[in-house]
Amino acid sequence: MEQYQLSNGVNIPKIGFGTWQIPEGEEVYKSVTHALKVGYRHVDTAQIYRNEVGVGQAIADSDLAREDIFLTTKIWNDKYDYDLAKASIEESLEKLGVDYVDLLLIHWPNPKAQREQDAWKAGNAATWKAMEEAYRAGKVRAIGVSNFMIHHLEALLETADIKPHVNQVLLAPGCTQENLVAFCRQYDILLEAYSPLGTGSIFSNPVAQELAAKYGKSVAQVALRWSLQKGFLPLPKSVTPENIEANLQIFDFELSADDVDKLDKLEGIKSQKNPDEVDY
Protein backbone atom coordinates (compact mmCIF):
# COMPACT_ATOMS: atom_id res chain seq x y z
CA MET A 1 0.00 0.00 0.00
CA GLU A 2 1.46 3.36 -1.05
CA GLN A 3 1.61 6.05 1.63
CA TYR A 4 1.46 9.79 2.07
CA GLN A 5 3.52 11.43 4.77
CA LEU A 6 1.88 13.84 7.21
CA SER A 7 3.66 17.05 8.20
CA ASN A 8 4.80 15.39 11.46
CA GLY A 9 6.50 12.57 9.54
CA VAL A 10 3.80 9.94 10.22
CA ASN A 11 3.02 7.74 7.21
CA ILE A 12 -0.60 7.21 6.19
CA PRO A 13 -1.84 4.67 3.62
CA LYS A 14 -3.09 6.41 0.47
CA ILE A 15 -6.56 4.91 0.61
CA GLY A 16 -8.71 4.29 3.68
CA PHE A 17 -11.78 2.15 4.34
CA GLY A 18 -14.83 4.28 5.23
CA THR A 19 -17.33 2.94 7.76
CA TRP A 20 -20.10 5.55 7.96
CA GLN A 21 -23.55 3.88 7.89
CA ILE A 22 -22.12 0.42 8.51
CA PRO A 23 -24.01 -0.81 11.56
CA GLU A 24 -22.22 -1.73 14.77
CA GLY A 25 -21.73 -5.43 15.46
CA GLU A 26 -21.51 -8.16 12.90
CA GLU A 27 -21.88 -6.02 9.81
CA VAL A 28 -19.02 -3.63 10.54
CA TYR A 29 -16.94 -6.50 11.89
CA LYS A 30 -17.37 -8.45 8.64
CA SER A 31 -16.70 -5.46 6.40
CA VAL A 32 -13.55 -4.33 8.21
CA THR A 33 -12.32 -7.91 8.45
CA HIS A 34 -12.72 -8.30 4.70
CA ALA A 35 -11.11 -4.94 4.01
CA LEU A 36 -8.04 -5.88 6.06
CA LYS A 37 -7.90 -9.29 4.41
CA VAL A 38 -7.80 -7.85 0.88
CA GLY A 39 -5.20 -5.22 1.68
CA TYR A 40 -6.62 -2.09 3.31
CA ARG A 41 -4.38 -0.82 6.08
CA HIS A 42 -6.35 2.28 7.00
CA VAL A 43 -9.81 2.42 8.60
CA ASP A 44 -11.92 5.52 9.15
CA THR A 45 -14.55 5.54 11.89
CA ALA A 46 -16.10 8.12 14.23
CA GLN A 47 -17.91 8.17 17.55
CA ILE A 48 -21.14 9.11 15.82
CA TYR A 49 -20.95 6.09 13.49
CA ARG A 50 -21.55 4.07 16.66
CA ASN A 51 -19.47 1.21 15.31
CA GLU A 52 -16.15 1.68 17.13
CA VAL A 53 -16.53 -1.59 19.05
CA GLY A 54 -16.94 -3.70 15.90
CA VAL A 55 -14.15 -1.84 14.09
CA GLY A 56 -11.80 -2.41 17.02
CA GLN A 57 -12.77 -6.07 17.32
CA ALA A 58 -12.06 -6.68 13.62
CA ILE A 59 -8.63 -5.09 14.03
CA ALA A 60 -7.90 -7.12 17.16
CA ASP A 61 -8.93 -10.39 15.49
CA SER A 62 -6.92 -9.76 12.32
CA ASP A 63 -3.49 -11.31 11.87
CA LEU A 64 -2.01 -7.85 11.50
CA ALA A 65 0.09 -6.07 14.05
CA ARG A 66 -1.56 -2.95 15.50
CA GLU A 67 1.23 -0.77 14.07
CA ASP A 68 0.45 -2.02 10.55
CA ILE A 69 -3.04 -0.49 10.64
CA PHE A 70 -3.80 3.22 10.49
CA LEU A 71 -6.91 3.91 12.55
CA THR A 72 -8.87 7.17 12.60
CA THR A 73 -11.74 8.26 14.79
CA LYS A 74 -13.53 11.58 15.33
CA ILE A 75 -14.89 13.57 18.25
CA TRP A 76 -18.60 14.24 17.88
CA ASN A 77 -20.40 17.57 18.20
CA ASP A 78 -21.70 16.97 21.73
CA LYS A 79 -18.12 16.66 23.09
CA TYR A 80 -17.20 20.16 22.18
CA ASP A 81 -15.14 21.45 25.08
CA TYR A 82 -11.87 20.63 26.87
CA ASP A 83 -13.15 18.22 29.53
CA LEU A 84 -15.72 16.56 27.30
CA ALA A 85 -13.12 16.09 24.55
CA LYS A 86 -10.67 14.54 27.01
CA ALA A 87 -13.32 12.10 28.22
CA SER A 88 -14.34 11.42 24.66
CA ILE A 89 -10.82 10.38 23.66
CA GLU A 90 -10.72 7.87 26.52
CA GLU A 91 -14.15 6.56 25.55
CA SER A 92 -13.09 6.01 21.94
CA LEU A 93 -9.87 4.24 22.98
CA GLU A 94 -11.87 1.98 25.23
CA LYS A 95 -14.52 1.16 22.64
CA LEU A 96 -11.91 0.54 19.97
CA GLY A 97 -9.87 -1.55 22.42
CA VAL A 98 -6.60 0.18 21.51
CA ASP A 99 -3.89 2.12 23.37
CA TYR A 100 -3.72 4.78 20.69
CA VAL A 101 -5.39 5.91 17.50
CA ASP A 102 -3.35 7.05 14.52
CA LEU A 103 -5.50 10.05 13.75
CA LEU A 104 -8.10 11.92 15.77
CA LEU A 105 -10.34 14.54 14.14
CA ILE A 106 -12.81 17.19 15.26
CA HIS A 107 -15.82 16.00 13.24
CA TRP A 108 -17.52 19.35 12.54
CA PRO A 109 -16.34 22.91 13.27
CA ASN A 110 -19.59 24.54 14.29
CA PRO A 111 -22.07 22.30 16.14
CA LYS A 112 -25.61 23.58 16.05
CA ALA A 113 -26.04 23.47 19.81
CA GLN A 114 -23.23 26.03 20.24
CA ARG A 115 -23.94 28.17 17.24
CA GLU A 116 -23.99 31.52 18.96
CA GLN A 117 -21.85 34.46 18.04
CA ASP A 118 -18.33 33.06 17.58
CA ALA A 119 -18.86 30.28 20.18
CA TRP A 120 -17.35 27.84 17.69
CA LYS A 121 -13.92 29.48 17.89
CA ALA A 122 -13.59 28.90 21.63
CA GLY A 123 -15.13 25.43 21.28
CA ASN A 124 -12.63 24.35 18.64
CA ALA A 125 -9.69 25.88 20.54
CA ALA A 126 -10.66 24.04 23.76
CA THR A 127 -11.26 20.72 22.00
CA TRP A 128 -7.96 21.14 20.16
CA LYS A 129 -6.11 21.69 23.44
CA ALA A 130 -7.37 18.32 24.70
CA MET A 131 -6.28 16.74 21.42
CA GLU A 132 -2.80 18.29 21.64
CA GLU A 133 -2.44 16.84 25.12
CA ALA A 134 -3.50 13.40 23.88
CA TYR A 135 -0.97 13.76 21.05
CA ARG A 136 1.82 14.61 23.46
CA ALA A 137 0.79 11.72 25.71
CA GLY A 138 1.08 9.27 22.78
CA LYS A 139 -2.63 8.47 22.70
CA VAL A 140 -2.92 9.76 19.14
CA ARG A 141 -0.20 9.89 16.49
CA ALA A 142 -1.71 12.74 14.48
CA ILE A 143 -4.50 15.27 14.98
CA GLY A 144 -6.72 16.97 12.50
CA VAL A 145 -10.11 18.32 11.61
CA SER A 146 -13.04 17.51 9.37
CA ASN A 147 -15.48 19.72 7.51
CA PHE A 148 -13.34 22.77 8.32
CA MET A 149 -13.59 25.61 5.82
CA ILE A 150 -10.91 28.30 5.49
CA HIS A 151 -12.35 30.58 8.20
CA HIS A 152 -12.50 27.70 10.69
CA LEU A 153 -8.88 26.77 9.95
CA GLU A 154 -7.71 30.37 10.21
CA ALA A 155 -9.34 30.71 13.63
CA LEU A 156 -7.88 27.41 14.87
CA LEU A 157 -4.39 28.31 13.65
CA GLU A 158 -4.51 31.45 15.81
CA THR A 159 -4.54 29.40 19.03
CA ALA A 160 -3.13 25.98 18.07
CA ASP A 161 0.37 24.93 19.19
CA ILE A 162 0.26 22.08 16.71
CA LYS A 163 -1.28 22.78 13.33
CA PRO A 164 -3.75 20.20 11.99
CA HIS A 165 -2.12 17.35 10.09
CA VAL A 166 -5.30 16.52 8.14
CA ASN A 167 -8.58 18.06 6.98
CA GLN A 168 -11.20 15.48 5.98
CA VAL A 169 -13.82 17.02 3.71
CA LEU A 170 -16.11 16.04 0.86
CA LEU A 171 -13.94 15.81 -2.25
CA ALA A 172 -15.31 13.92 -5.22
CA PRO A 173 -15.53 14.44 -8.97
CA GLY A 174 -17.62 17.60 -9.30
CA CYS A 175 -16.82 18.75 -5.74
CA THR A 176 -13.25 20.06 -5.86
CA GLN A 177 -13.26 22.83 -3.19
CA GLU A 178 -10.28 24.51 -4.89
CA ASN A 179 -9.78 27.44 -2.51
CA LEU A 180 -9.92 25.20 0.54
CA VAL A 181 -7.52 22.73 -1.08
CA ALA A 182 -5.04 25.51 -1.90
CA PHE A 183 -5.26 26.84 1.68
CA CYS A 184 -4.62 23.39 3.17
CA ARG A 185 -1.66 22.83 0.86
CA GLN A 186 -0.17 26.14 2.00
CA TYR A 187 -0.18 24.79 5.57
CA ASP A 188 0.88 21.25 4.64
CA ILE A 189 -2.47 19.85 5.78
CA LEU A 190 -3.27 16.56 4.00
CA LEU A 191 -6.71 16.41 2.39
CA GLU A 192 -8.72 13.30 3.00
CA ALA A 193 -11.55 12.84 0.51
CA TYR A 194 -14.72 11.67 2.20
CA SER A 195 -17.67 10.42 0.15
CA PRO A 196 -15.23 9.97 -2.78
CA LEU A 197 -18.05 8.27 -4.72
CA GLY A 198 -20.50 11.01 -3.73
CA THR A 199 -22.18 8.46 -1.40
CA GLY A 200 -23.14 6.59 -4.57
CA SER A 201 -24.34 9.62 -6.54
CA ILE A 202 -21.58 9.22 -9.13
CA PHE A 203 -22.73 5.87 -10.49
CA SER A 204 -25.50 7.17 -12.75
CA ASN A 205 -23.38 10.00 -14.18
CA PRO A 206 -22.96 9.52 -17.96
CA VAL A 207 -19.55 11.25 -18.18
CA ALA A 208 -18.19 9.06 -15.40
CA GLN A 209 -19.64 5.99 -17.14
CA GLU A 210 -18.03 7.01 -20.43
CA LEU A 211 -14.63 7.42 -18.79
CA ALA A 212 -14.96 4.10 -16.99
CA ALA A 213 -15.55 2.40 -20.36
CA LYS A 214 -12.60 4.26 -21.91
CA TYR A 215 -10.16 3.00 -19.24
CA GLY A 216 -11.71 -0.45 -18.88
CA LYS A 217 -12.31 0.30 -15.20
CA SER A 218 -15.42 0.79 -13.07
CA VAL A 219 -16.93 4.19 -12.27
CA ALA A 220 -15.75 3.75 -8.67
CA GLN A 221 -12.19 3.02 -9.74
CA VAL A 222 -12.10 6.05 -12.03
CA ALA A 223 -13.41 8.31 -9.24
CA LEU A 224 -10.91 6.93 -6.72
CA ARG A 225 -8.06 7.25 -9.22
CA TRP A 226 -9.10 10.86 -9.79
CA SER A 227 -8.83 11.40 -6.04
CA LEU A 228 -5.27 10.05 -5.94
CA GLN A 229 -4.19 12.10 -8.95
CA LYS A 230 -5.54 15.22 -7.20
CA GLY A 231 -3.29 14.34 -4.24
CA PHE A 232 -6.25 13.47 -1.99
CA LEU A 233 -6.64 10.43 0.23
CA PRO A 234 -9.94 8.74 -0.66
CA LEU A 235 -12.04 6.91 1.95
CA PRO A 236 -14.49 4.72 0.01
CA LYS A 237 -17.14 2.83 2.01
CA SER A 238 -18.62 -0.48 1.00
CA VAL A 239 -20.25 -3.48 2.62
CA THR A 240 -20.02 -5.54 -0.57
CA PRO A 241 -16.95 -7.81 -0.63
CA GLU A 242 -16.37 -7.44 -4.41
CA ASN A 243 -16.64 -3.65 -4.19
CA ILE A 244 -14.34 -3.49 -1.17
CA GLU A 245 -11.75 -5.39 -3.16
CA ALA A 246 -12.25 -3.59 -6.48
CA ASN A 247 -11.87 -0.18 -4.83
CA LEU A 248 -8.23 -1.00 -4.11
CA GLN A 249 -7.42 -1.69 -7.76
CA ILE A 250 -6.58 1.91 -8.59
CA PHE A 251 -2.79 1.89 -8.65
CA ASP A 252 -2.39 0.33 -12.10
CA PHE A 253 -3.72 3.01 -14.44
CA GLU A 254 -3.50 6.74 -15.01
CA LEU A 255 -6.15 9.24 -16.11
CA SER A 256 -5.09 11.84 -18.65
CA ALA A 257 -5.00 15.48 -17.57
CA ASP A 258 -8.00 16.17 -19.83
CA ASP A 259 -10.02 13.43 -18.17
CA VAL A 260 -9.10 14.67 -14.69
CA ASP A 261 -10.38 18.03 -15.84
CA LYS A 262 -13.63 16.49 -17.09
CA LEU A 263 -14.13 14.81 -13.73
CA ASP A 264 -13.44 18.09 -11.91
CA LYS A 265 -16.44 19.51 -13.74
CA LEU A 266 -18.95 16.68 -13.26
CA GLU A 267 -22.42 17.83 -12.42
CA GLY A 268 -25.02 16.38 -10.08
CA ILE A 269 -22.64 14.74 -7.60
CA LYS A 270 -23.18 15.18 -3.87
CA SER A 271 -21.30 18.21 -2.54
CA GLN A 272 -19.94 19.54 0.75
CA LYS A 273 -22.57 20.72 3.23
CA ASN A 274 -22.10 24.15 4.73
CA PRO A 275 -20.76 23.36 8.22
CA ASP A 276 -22.11 26.66 9.57
CA GLU A 277 -25.64 25.61 8.62
CA VAL A 278 -25.89 21.88 9.28
CA ASP A 279 -28.64 20.72 11.58
CA TYR A 280 -26.38 18.95 14.12
Ligand X SMILES: NC(=O)c1ccc[n+]([C@@H]2O[C@H](COP(=O)([O-])OP(=O)(O)OC[C@H]3O[C@@H](n4cnc5c(N)ncnc54)[C@H](OP(=O)(O)O)[C@@H]3O)[C@@H](O)[C@H]2O)c1
Q: Catalytic residues, which ones?
A: 49
Binding mask 106-135 for ligand X (x = CB under 6 A): -x----------------------------
Longest dimension (CA), the chain: 53
The reply on whether position 97 binds ligand X by CB under 6 A is no
Nearest residue (CB) to ligand X, 130 versus 202: 202
The reply on whether position 227 binds ligand X by CB under 6 A is no
Residue of minimal CB distance from ligand X? 18
Out of 199, 229, 271, 272, name the contact with ligand X by CB under 6 A.
199
Contact segment (CB under 6 A) with ligand X among 50-58, 94-102, 175-183, 197-205 equals: 197-205
What count of other Cβ atoms lies within 10 Å of the Cβ of residue 167?
25
The reply on whether position 218 binds ligand X by CB under 6 A is yes
Nearest to 101 by CA among 193, 195, 10, 192: 10
Q: Which amino acid is residue 215, in one-letter code?
A: Y
The reply on whether position 238 binds ligand X by CB under 6 A is yes
How far is it, in rounded angstroms, from Cα 262 to Cα 240? 28
Q: Is 103 helix (H, G, I), strand (E, B) or coil?
A: strand
Is the CB of residue 154 less than 8 Å from the CB of residue 118? no
Least distance in Å: CB of 116 to ligand X? 22
The reply on whether position 48 binds ligand X by CB under 6 A is no
The reply on whether position 198 binds ligand X by CB under 6 A is yes
Least distance in Å: CB of 278 to ligand X? 9
**Distance from the Cα of residue 237 to its chain's centroid:** 11
Distances (CA, A) of 78 to 21, 50, 110, 126, 158: 19, 14, 11, 13, 23
Nearest residue (CB) to ligand X, 53 versus 239: 239
Is the CB of residue 166 less than 8 Å from the CB of residue 7? no
Size of the site for ligand X (CB under 6 A): 27
Q: Is 5 helix (H, G, I), strand (E, B) or coil?
A: strand
| Contacting residues toward ligand X, per CB under 6 A | 18-21, 44, 107, 146-147, 168, 194-200, 218, 220, 235-240, 243, 246-247
